[in-house]
Chains A and B, each alone.
Chain A
Amino acid sequence: MSTDAAAPAGRLPDAAGHFGRFGGRFVPEALVAALDELDAAYRKAMTDETFLAEFDALLRDYAGTPSLLYEARRLSAEIGARVLLKREDLNHTGAHKVRNVLGQALLTKRMGKQRVIAETGAGQHGVATATAAALFDLECVVYMGEVDTERQALNVARMRMLGATVVPVTTGSRTLKDAMNEAMRDWVANVDTTHYLIGTAAGPHPFPEMVRDFVRGIGVEARQQCLDLTGALPDAVAACVGGGSNALGIFHAFVPDAGVRLYGFEAGGEGVATGRHAASITGGSAGVLHGTRTYVLQNEDGQTVESHSISAGLDYPGVGPEHAWLHDSGRATYQPVDDDEAMAAFELLCRTEGIIPAIESSHALAGARRIAPQLAAELGREPVIVVNLSGRGDKDVHTAGGYFGILDKE
């Protein structure tokens, strides 16, 4: 490995996409030319004022950012910390993901490609990609595990309304990881005309770095908003981690601030000890999956193990390589939050603030609730915690309604 794990975070990854021992490119040679092309286009764009102005304008006028940093007073009183919610749930399409798809869609146009493909689990990234494709007049094909198309029929309909073709994937476990495999296969065959719009900060270089850079505005905004509101940086930043784009988005600007603790909350499913979870860092081991070296849920032969979570968006057996590095370096702390804890936090936010959060984001809320008394004891005062409310819960009404037993019998 060419990068010292102790190198300053701002300098990672290295030119080949390594975050310490993680990251890199584990892909068929057929994709290398496209990844190089993407890397060049992305690097050029990030120093091109026209591109950056266009991206900023889209984020402001179309996506509705900067998102609010909202002081949740009733929630704060409940959990014993001053909680500031980064309201990414208020963005167009209802989550942080719109930032990434707008960035990549702009790049797709710049590369002269007319077709985008995407993988989706719950359907949120698929909807966001279909949205950007409609806006940019791109052909859009979304791969989605057959199991997920059944669980998330409304999102399938949304994608179709937006003009996308949804392809149910019937191989393997018929969930997100298999959708990603199928998208990779499509990309290998159609790489001349097609951009693979990966939905999280994972996959082969340059995706982890590029996706991070497209969503890092979340943290840049939150950092300034917190300074404006409280006159100081927060004591902690909390986010949920599946692939990890929303967490990296809010963490990245805070990484150099040594006094700000960073907490990533993984999906503990039915409990890490049961084996039925999606906590790749706390319950997995280092391996190679989907083009990158990172923490993976796998058996001892390196076969990927199916993940489990009540949150479809966290239900993935890997994690972005930068999180793997942040974990190894000790800069961020990762803990599992199980389904029941997440759903209790979901209910708490609904009842105290009148905000229905995504079940994904509920893992971050539950984590904040857990760390609040620890931080208060350590600091000897009420801690300030910024929580990334990465998405809204409309899509989860059916799941949550079933969980709480509040749906009328059909």
Chain B
Amino acid sequence: MSRIGVAFDKARADGRAVLVGCMPAGFPTVEDSIAAMTAMVEAGVDVIEVEIPYSDPVMDGPVIQKASDIALAGGVRTADTLRIIEAVAATGAPVVTMTYWNPIEQYGVDAFARDLAAAGGTGLITPDLIPEEAGEWLAASEAHGLDRTFLVSPSSTDARLKMTAGHCRGFVYATAIMGVTGARAQTSEAAPVLVSRLREVTDLPVGVGLGVGTGAQAATVAGYADAVIVGSALVRCVLDAPDRAAGLTALRALSAELAEGVRNPAR
């Protein structure tokens, strides 16, 4: 079982959901992003999702777009992402990587899988890769023992839910809303429906992301999902802070609030 699987089992035994926190690699610098992710782990985030910055992130809203632009303008490379993953994995927390497909294709799919496994990464979340186009990744992830998380959406048909979940390993990512990343005032009504539809077709843990930004929202989502995935709200802590120390303080506070939320699932 992968390290992600262990995290899900442990959380399930504790009667709570896993908290996944996302941060773009190299935002605002490589060292700062390692510090930010380490702070998130110390404050109670169970799994770190490292996003590889990409020039054309069509599934991301303004906050992560801006953070990705800052990281790229700072010169972050795909190889730096692997270094960040290695440093964060050393904290003991499972580290999953979220990436648009082109950076992986250019690195070389098998080469990236090999280097990701060597860095201690658990696998990939692929927002613009559907299983039908994933032949090379399916083979590389098998060869190097990595998890595969494809996304499902409220618009996915039952047949596609089954097919997509069937190609996942580790967990399935359910997008809570029809839209892009970014914190929203209200939690989704579509998400619980989507999760229960998924339960019909898979035994894999289900993580829910898009639009979750507060402890209360985390508690709501923890009521029906196995993992609560938070990105933009955490990124904003760093983006809006006047300096590095203030950013880390805000990040720790929000991480702790979210960690509290997943421990008090609304049932």
A287 near B102: Cβ-Cβ < 8 Å = yes
Q: How far is the CA of A190 from the CA of B104 in the complex (A)?
A: 29
**Closest approach, in angstroms, between the C-beta of A8 and any C-beta of chain B?**
24
A185 near B61: Cβ-Cβ < 8 Å = yes
Q: Taking A172-B55, A191-B178 as contacts, is the C-beta distance between A298 and B133 under 8 angstroms?
A: no
A171 CB-CB contact with B under 8 Å: yes
**Closest approach, in angstroms, between the C-beta of A286 and any C-beta of chain B?**
8
Per-residue interface assignment for chain A, residues 22 to 40, with 1 indicating a CB less than 8 Å from any chain B CB and 0 otherwise? 0011111110111000000
Q: How far is the CA of A288 from the CA of B103 in the complex (A)?
A: 9
Q: Taking A16-B132, A172-B56, A304-B56 as contacts, is the C-beta distance between A29 and B152 under 8 angstroms?
A: yes
Q: Taking A25-B130, A32-B160 as contacts, is the C-beta distance between A302 and B105 under 8 angstroms?
A: yes
Q: How far is the CA of A34 from the CA of B160 in the complex (A)?
A: 13
Q: Taking A16-B132, A181-B58 as contacts, is the C-beta distance between A188 and B102 under 8 angstroms?
A: no
Q: How far is the CA of A32 from the CA of B55 in the complex (A)?
A: 22
**Closest approach, in angstroms, between the C-beta of A27 and any C-beta of chain B?**
6
A29 near B101: Cβ-Cβ < 8 Å = no
Q: How far is the CA of A253 from the CA of B117 in the complex (A)?
A: 49
B57 near A181: Cβ-Cβ < 8 Å = yes
On chain A, the residues within 8 Å of B157 by CB distance are: 33
A332 CB-CB contact with B under 8 Å: no
B62 near A301: Cβ-Cβ < 8 Å = no
Per-residue interface assignment for chain A, residues 175 to 206, with 1 indicating a CB less than 8 Å from any chain B CB and 0 otherwise? 00110010011001111100000000000000
A301 near B58: Cβ-Cβ < 8 Å = no
Q: How many residues of A contact B (CB 8 A)?
A: 35
**Closest approach, in angstroms, between the C-beta of A161 and any C-beta of chain B?**
30
**Closest approach, in angstroms, between the C-beta of A180 and any C-beta of chain B?**
8
B196 CB-CB contact with A under 8 Å: no
Per-residue interface assignment for chain A, residues 89 to 124, with 1 indicating a CB less than 8 Å from any chain B CB and 0 otherwise? 000000000000000000000000000000000000
On chain A, the residues within 8 Å of B164 by CB distance are: 29
On chain A, the residues within 8 Å of B130 by CB distance are: 25-27, 29, 32
A28 near B103: Cβ-Cβ < 8 Å = no
Q: How far is the CA of A184 from the CA of B100 in the complex (A)?
A: 14
On chain A, the residues within 8 Å of B155 by CB distance are: 29-30, 32-34, 191
On chain A, the residues within 8 Å of B154 by CB distance are: 30
On chain A, the residues within 8 Å of B107 by CB distance are: 301-302
Q: Taking A191-B178, A301-B78 as contacts, is the C-beta distance between A28 and B55 under 8 angstroms?
A: no
B153 near A28: Cβ-Cβ < 8 Å = yes
Q: How far is the CA of A291 from the CA of B127 in the complex (A)?
A: 11
B156 near A189: Cβ-Cβ < 8 Å = no
B54 near A185: Cβ-Cβ < 8 Å = no
On chain A, the residues within 8 Å of B178 by CB distance are: 30, 188-192
Q: How far is the CA of A247 from the CA of B101 in the complex (A)?
A: 28
Q: How far is the CA of A191 from the CA of B177 in the complex (A)?
A: 12
Interface residues of A in 289-304 (CB under 8 A from B): 289-291, 296, 298, 300-304
A171 near B65: Cβ-Cβ < 8 Å = yes
A29 near B103: Cβ-Cβ < 8 Å = no
A26 near B151: Cβ-Cβ < 8 Å = no
**Closest approach, in angstroms, between the C-beta of A347 and any C-beta of chain B?**
36
Q: Taking A32-B160, A303-B55 as contacts, is the C-beta distance between A188 and B132 under 8 angstroms?
A: no
B106 near A304: Cβ-Cβ < 8 Å = no
A302 near B132: Cβ-Cβ < 8 Å = no
Interface residues of B in 24-83 (CB under 8 A from A): 54-59, 61-62, 65, 69, 72, 77-78
A29 near B102: Cβ-Cβ < 8 Å = no
Per-residue interface assignment for chain A, residues 150 to 191, with 1 indicating a CB less than 8 Å from any chain B CB and 0 otherwise? 000000000000000000000110000110010011001111
Partner of A29, one of B78, B106, B156: B156
Partner of B156, one of A25, A33, A190: A33
Q: Taking A33-B157, A188-B178, A289-B102 as contacts, is the C-beta distance between A28 and B65 under 8 angstroms?
A: no
Interface residues of B in 162-184 (CB under 8 A from A): 164, 175, 177-180
| Residue of chain B at shortest CB distance from A26 | B128
Interface residues of B in 111-161 (CB under 8 A from A): 127-130, 132-133, 150-157, 160
On chain A, the residues within 8 Å of B57 by CB distance are: 181
B56 near A188: Cβ-Cβ < 8 Å = no
Q: Taking A26-B128, A171-B62, A302-B103 as contacts, is the C-beta distance between A177 and B153 under 8 angstroms?
A: no
B180 near A189: Cβ-Cβ < 8 Å = yes
B56 near A29: Cβ-Cβ < 8 Å = no
A301 near B106: Cβ-Cβ < 8 Å = yes
B77 near A29: Cβ-Cβ < 8 Å = no
Q: How far is the CA of A336 from the CA of B109 in the complex (A)?
A: 31
| Residue of chain B at shortest CB distance from A303 | B55
| Residue of chain A at shortest CB distance from B180 | A185
On chain B, the residues within 8 Å of A287 by CB distance are: 102, 105-106
Partner of B102, one of A27, A192, A288: A288
Question: Can you list 30 A-B contacts (CB < 8 A)?
Answer: A24-B132, A24-B133, A27-B58, A28-B58, A28-B127, A28-B153, A29-B175, A30-B155, A33-B153, A33-B160, A171-B62, A172-B69, A177-B56, A185-B58, A185-B61, A185-B180, A188-B58, A188-B180, A190-B178, A289-B56, A289-B102, A291-B128, A296-B102, A298-B102, A300-B106, A301-B77, A301-B103, A302-B78, A302-B107, A303-B72
| Chain A interfacial positions (CB closer than 8 Å to B) | 16, 24-30, 32-34, 171-172, 177-178, 181, 184-185, 188-192, 287-291, 296, 298, 300-304
Task: List 9 tightest A-B contacts by C-beta distance, closest first.
Answer: A302-B106, A30-B153, A302-B102, A189-B179, A302-B103, A33-B155, A184-B58, A288-B102, A303-B55
| Chain B interfacial positions (CB closer than 8 Å to A) | 54-59, 61-62, 65, 69, 72, 77-78, 101-107, 127-130, 132-133, 150-157, 160, 164, 175, 177-180
